[in-house]
Structure 1
Amino acid sequence: MARVAVLHNTLDGRGGADAVCLHVCEALQSVHDVTLVTLSRSSLADLNDLFDTAAAVPVHRPTGTRAVSRAFDALPDRFGPALAPRSVLLRWVFDRLAYRFDAAVSTANEFDLPIPSLQYVHYPQFNRRHAPDGAGVRLDPLWSRLAGVGDRTLPADATLLANSAWTADVVDAVYGRRPTVRHPPIDPPPDPRPWAAREDGVVVLGRLAPDKRPLRAIRVVDGVRDRGHDLHLHLVGSSSSMYADYARRVAAAAADRSYVHLERDASRERVDRLLETHRYGLNCKPSEHFGMAVAEYVAAGMVAFAPDSGGQREVLDGRADRLFDSTADAVDTIAAAVDADDRPTLPRDRYASDRFHAAVREDVASVL
């Protein structure tokens, strides 16, 4: 049994990367002495309820974490969760703790760590200006230098994983090293209804945040209804103080429409119930690094739709009749599927969590 640190900058966004972190802790806790090191305020109990996980590990939060988290959360919505500076702080904290551990696992992208590590990259958080799409932020050179990776070199004893082949290509372009693809864990819900018994409704899972485009989802359903299809919409979003102003805009748009139902911080049981009983799933975030919501729709036996970019193309096997490149195209694509009464065809168990857990244990054993 080794001493393993799991590093995650913040779990307060309650998104797909955070689910991966909880699953990694759960996968390793029975075979290693695991400690979660984070700058997050969220409790493991709340996160386990949200992600249907059973992580039960000690959590190391440095002194001042609550104040730091509140300061970052107070930034206007347009600045987002400021993951790069959070990660710089986390690295500085861990440098003083590293001697206690045999290995580290980052579930929050790439780091320059002083001990052997397994690093799960959802999308590079540093040197982003060197990515193929040039999606850098103004202070990217500063954060990259402070993180110790300004020369675009990662530690030789770091094993890299990526959430999709698309992300792996981006990492390779930035750092000259291609990670192994390890898709995030997604389990089918327990009791899916047959197609004929499902409701003619659309489910949108994801944070109530600008990057997830819930307002665009509302406009898409508006457009499909204008074509004569009586669809309703469930926006099922975890709320966070990071995006309080934007969440209020989403709530106002939903309140203006009787067919849009906003469900904040729904329990896992409620999420599963919606996935099991509705026909269609929609994601509106372009260039999704993997697309956990899209994978959840597929696992639930729904017909899923997503932008024609990023890792979600892999989840949908590149099907042109499930992918779109604009709001108008999304309306056309979904309306055509409803007209044709299209049925789900993709395998439901492709990303099962037991496979992910076993693979992570093997990956950590290789690092050790």
Structure 2
Amino acid sequence: MARVAVVHNTLDLRGGADAVCAHVCEALDRDHEVVLFTVSETGLGTLDDLFGTDADVPVRTPPGTAVAAPLFARADDAFGPQLAPRSVVLARWLRRHLAAFDCAVSTANEFAFGVPSVQYVHFPQFNGHVPGPEGPDGTSGDAGVADRLWTRLSGLADRRLPADATLLANSGYTADHVAARYGRRPAVVHPPVDPISGEPWAERERGVVTVGRIAPDNRTLDAVRAVDRARERGVDLHLHLVGSTSDAYRSYVRRVERAVAERDHVRLHRGVSRDRLEALLGSHRYGLNPKHGEHFGMALAEYVAAGMVAFAHDSGGQREVVDGAPDRLFTDPASAADRLVAAVETDARPRLPPDRFGSERFHDRIRAAVAARLERR
């Protein structure tokens, strides 16, 4: 048994990266003494309820987190997710604690740790000014002055990740961006998504479910626009928006609330239990992921796991989740409506196995990566 520090910049955004953090804590707690370090108001119990995990490990936060976390949330609302600043704050505090651990496991991208580490990258958080591989979404990794500042404070301005770090990435898309910035390509370990039981196809509702944080980067309103357009073409679809809300995105949440109030065919579900989420997925035919440049797409993978016909924006790592099928990819709300209408009119069915991203596969890969890293100390 080893002492393992799991490092996650914040649990407050309650997205796919946080699900990975909870699963990593659960996987490693079986064999090791695990402590989670984070800058968060949200507790692990909240993630367990959201993601169906059992991540019961001690959590340590820097002094002043009760003040800093709400301030970061306000910055998120105004400027977008402030992950790099959180990581720098956390890393600087961690330097006085990591010597007591045998290994650090980041579930929040790259760090310059002073101990052997396993680093799971959802997308690189530093050196964004370094040109990256272009994709159809136009993502190039360009960034400004703030990125250079946080990169320098992180200790990674030389673009050299620690030699004693094992690198993992959530998708081939992300792995390509890590290679462009740091000259090392991580192994791809897709995030954990277990099969979700559902009703027979004939008994499912002809409706759309969009799951994810109600946030501008998730483009929740694009799902509303896509279903509106499909209905204008005579296809009787309804839409369920399912996701957590956070003070970090309160102004956008208000816009979504207004859009829902104006439509009888759209419902907003906040703070739903895992059982309720799975019931919605298992009783509907279509899942829609409108986010651009998704690094993997946990919600999209859940649509697959629930036996739904899954649609995604044609960008980022989400193409991998739907195996690049052109009739499952779209570029804007209008083309998303095209895909939905075609699926209804042709009675399109799911093609992908629901167990392709199972959590046991993920847990085994994480345990193996940590064991190998500890053996090479």
* TM-score, scaled relative to structure 2: 0.96
Cα drift, residue 74 of structure 1: 1.8
| Equivalence for 1:203 | 209
- Would the aligned equivalents of 2:76 and 2:82 in 1 still touch at CA under 8 Å? no
Q: Matched residues in 1 for 2:261 and 2:283: separation?
A: 23
Instruction: Return the match for 1:252 from 250, 258, 274.
Output: 258
| Equivalence for 2:231 | 225
Instruction: Return the match for 1:164 from 158, 171, 174.
Output: 171
Give SS of 1:4's match. strand
Q: Matched residues in 2 for 1:293 and 1:281: separation?
A: 9
Alignment of 1:1-368 (within 5 A): 1-75=1-75, 77-130=77-130, 131-132=132-133, 133-189=140-196, 191-368=197-374
Cα drift, residue 81 of structure 1: 2.3
Percent of matched pairs sharing the same residue:
60
Q: Matched residues in 2 for 1:113 and 1:233: separation?
A: 44
Give SS of 2:118's match. strand
Q: Matched residues in 1 for 2:208 and 2:142: separation?
A: 31
* Root-mean-square deviation (Å): 0.9
Query: Which ranges in structure 2 are unaligned for 5 or more consecutive residues?
Result: 134-139
Code of the residue aligned with 2:15 in structure 1: it is: G
Code of the residue aligned with 2:333 in structure 1: it is: T
Give SS of 2:129's match. helix
Cα drift, residue 76 of structure 1: 5.9
Give SS of 1:361's match. helix
Code of the residue aligned with 1:156 in structure 2: it is: A
Q: Matched residues in 2 for 1:152 and 1:98: separation?
A: 22
Cα drift, residue 77 of structure 1: 2.1
| Closer/same/farther in 2, CA of residues 23 and 137 from structure 1, 3 Å limit | farther
Could you give the per-residue CA deviations for residues 16-52 of structure 1, whole angstroms, max 9, x where no partner exists?
A: 0000000000000010000000011111111111110
| Closer/same/farther in 2, CA of residues 83 and 137 from structure 1, 3 Å limit | farther
Q: Matched residues in 2 for 1:137 and 1:269: separation?
A: 43
Give SS of 2:14's match. coil
Q: Matched residues in 1 for 2:66 and 2:91: separation?
A: 17
Q: Matched residues in 2 for 1:271 and 1:137: separation?
A: 39
Q: Matched residues in 2 for 1:268 and 1:335: separation?
A: 29
* TM-score, scaled relative to structure 1: 0.98
Q: Matched residues in 1 for 2:141 and 2:51: separation?
A: 32
Count of residue correspondences:
367
Moved over 3 A (4+): none
Q: Matched residues in 1 for 2:305 and 2:18: separation?
A: 19
Q: Matched residues in 2 for 1:264 and 1:304: separation?
A: 22
Query: Which ranges in structure 1 are unaligned for 5 or more consecutive residues?
Result: none
Q: Matched residues in 2 for 1:68 and 1:319: separation?
A: 43
Q: Matched residues in 2 for 1:64 and 1:278: separation?
A: 44
**Quick check: 311-320 or 129-138, which moved more?**
129-138
| Closer/same/farther in 2, CA of residues 137 and 341 from structure 1, 3 Å limit | farther
Q: Matched residues in 1 for 2:21 and 2:43: separation?
A: 13
Cα drift, residue 75 of structure 1: 2.1
| Equivalence for 2:137 | none
Give SS of 2:327's match. coil
Q: Matched residues in 2 for 1:76 and 1:290: separation?
A: 21
Give SS of 1:177's match. coil
- Would the aligned equivalents of 2:77 and 2:247 in 1 still touch at CA under 8 Å? no
Give SS of 2:263's match. coil
